[in-house]
Amino acid sequence: MPDKAGLRARLLAARALLTTEEVRRAAGELSAAALRLPELAGARTVAAYVSVGREPGTRALIDALRARGVRVLLPVLLADNDLDWAVYEGSHGLARARLSLLEPSGPRLGPEAVTEADAVLLPGLAVDARGMRLGRGGGSYDRVLARLARVGADPALVVLLYPHEVVARVPEEPHDHPVHAVVTPDGVRRFTAPGPR
């Protein structure tokens, strides 16, 4: 099994080869597939993120959720790599932040705000057949998942990826948590169902 750093490097290199048109088309397909998820259709609050660069696109999805009346929480990266949260008020309310991220400029709600989410859209580089997610390695979302577990929150955990990023196996560590579903332009694959809210 490849180490996490090697697998991350290969996956990031593959993303770098995607054309702008491929990224744009995949974003539309991802949004349409994700919006059909029952976990998002019935959600009152969704924690998401704003995709940047060649990441699988989330902007159409978060705009569509907001248009449905869903309260969309977006992360704000703190100095220690933990995440604070703020409500998404539309693209006009996004500001460029460190690491080239786009973050909401509104009032901060605190790191615990994510525990109110009915669904959490997690960034990732890969998910394996067991639902184990490979992130970028900063640990921000490991803290989010640990926080959710600590308070007993069990939102639907969903990752948006390109089809080739669903792999046979990713390396895992004791702190890693499986996700419930992955959405690709090809459709949805479920691993485990979230518990009752």
Residues at the annotated binding site? 4-8, 50, 55, 133-141
The identity of residue 190, as a single letter, is: R
- How do strand 71-77 and strand 45-47 relate by DSSP bridges? parallel
Q: How much is the CA Rg of the chain, to the nearest whole Å?
A: 15
Give residue for tokens 């790599």: 81
Q: Which long-range contacts link 83-88 to residues 24+ away (Cβ below 8 Å)?
A: 83/111, 83/114, 83/140, 83/141, 83/143, 83/144, 84/108, 84/109, 84/110, 84/111, 84/113, 85/47, 85/109, 85/110, 85/111, 85/113, 85/114, 88/48, 88/62
For the chain, give the longest Cα–Cα distance.
43
Ramachandran class of 131: left when φ > 0, alpha when ψ lies in -120 to 50, beta otherwise: left
Which pair of structure tokens corresponds to residue 181? 């579903």
Binding site members for substrate: 50, 55
Distance from the Cα of residue 108 to its chain's centroid: 19
Residues belonging to the binding site for ATP are 4-8, 133-141
